[in-house]
Chains A and B, each alone.
Chain A
């Protein structure tokens, strides 16, 4: 028995935008509502993800503003969510719970972000400082830890324990750029090579520029309804079979031995338990590859490959669309882009299309079960979601 169903999806191309946040979100939300055949008056609640509006645009409390722009009437229950890069999935978790409990019948959930240096005029080092606000001020930011370097700390230890190499990390980027080259919405449409990755400048060792996802602007939205009501919306519903949100200690020094990402392991176990299937039965997965090493950690923590084997599995092509464990057919955060508050629901957009068989050149064959993995902050939050096509 599913917890809720997705009956409408929408997202913008990811890239650089200068338009107001509300206009950007409308470009994702209105198509999602139209696809679902839901009128604005039918939307009971709107859960909106945005992370850096306060720091970058001097805009907080965005939910009423965005709801008003897209024409959700007064009386709609609106709320903004912020949980770093896991924001969109956290908003989704609450949407699932709201329809599952019967509190609401129809929930619009999504996110929008404007956080590119090019679109905001904020230089890269200052944007790096702002992105670092997800870190513990006293015990992570002060020593100089950045978003890239927390994943770098995990990845260096993974390399030490398992012999994972920089070439294997680069293969993650090559694979995700290849997938992104088939996705018209991706910020990076070009393929890359292991040599290009290894020749790019170091950001936080072992990560080089091409190991890192870009700064991105964009928006995504999904319409969530109860499982029972889903058939009445006139599209093929995709069921949310499980969703679990788990936290890890902050600061990272108090997390159980990196690179374990213990919160992902707990979330995956809980999600698979809800869904009634396991990692071996997943046909397609979107993971939070903010850095190449993050995809390596994710594959292992989700149980898709054994601990220590994600590097070789990537080199062998097992995580390509044509492989036995296709990962990030969208291009992932690495190539598709990472407008942080929009990322969680953008993963759901991609997987919904995959389960409907609408993904064109990057369609994974016979995709019936899907998994999304979204990580927030300094490896302190994870949301794992299981999706299932109806027979």
Chain B
């Protein structure tokens, strides 16, 4: 993780270029270093890119690095899915620090609410990258 992705609290002209795009977010996720946004106005932290704060609308959002270990908030095991997704896989909303991310659970693994999970890999579906989590050993 480069230093300039750390907490920046102001949305000045110069860090418009620093805006967290999907491409940058996906590259960081693939590198095992997930990025989110923290709102300088209300403090809300999101795990996916936006142009402004999803809670309060402030444009004062700064890219922050998210932890790679988190807690399962809720989960579901999916048996009927689009063909290219396979079946019998689990998805989970995972709390990574102050942010919540929808991730995929590694094939063959099962997690429960409140389990600790780690970002272990990434997964590509139809050109888009997804975080894959495993139960902490």
Contacts and interface: CB of A to CB of B under 8 A. Distances in A.
A252 B102 contact: yes
Interface of B: 22, 46-48, 54-55, 73-85, 89, 91, 93, 99-104, 113, 123, 125-126, 128-131
Contacts of B82: 125-126, 128-129, 132, 146
A184 interface: no
Contacts, number: 111
Contacts of A143: 91, 102-104, 123, 125, 130-131
A129 B83 contact: yes
A205 B105 CA distance: 14
Given A144-B91, A144-B125, A253 B78 contact: no
19 contacts: A125-B80, A125-B82, A129-B84, A132-B82, A138-B128, A139-B102, A141-B125, A141-B126, A142-B125, A142-B126, A143-B104, A143-B131, A144-B125, A154-B74, A204-B80, A205-B76, A253-B101, A254-B46, A254-B48
A65 interface: no
Nearest to B127: A142
A144 B81 contact: yes
Contacts of A154: 74
Given A140-B102, A145-B102, A152-B76, 16 more contacts: A129-B83, A129-B84, A139-B102, A141-B128, A142-B128, A143-B103, A144-B78, A144-B91, A144-B104, A149-B91, A201-B79, A252-B102, A253-B46, A253-B99, A254-B48, A258-B74
Contact of B48 (A138, A149, A204): A138
Contacts of B130: 142-144
A145 B91 contact: yes
Contacts of A156: 74-76, 113
Contact of A146 (B47, B78, B93, B100): B78
A205 B125 CA distance: 22
Contacts of B129: 142
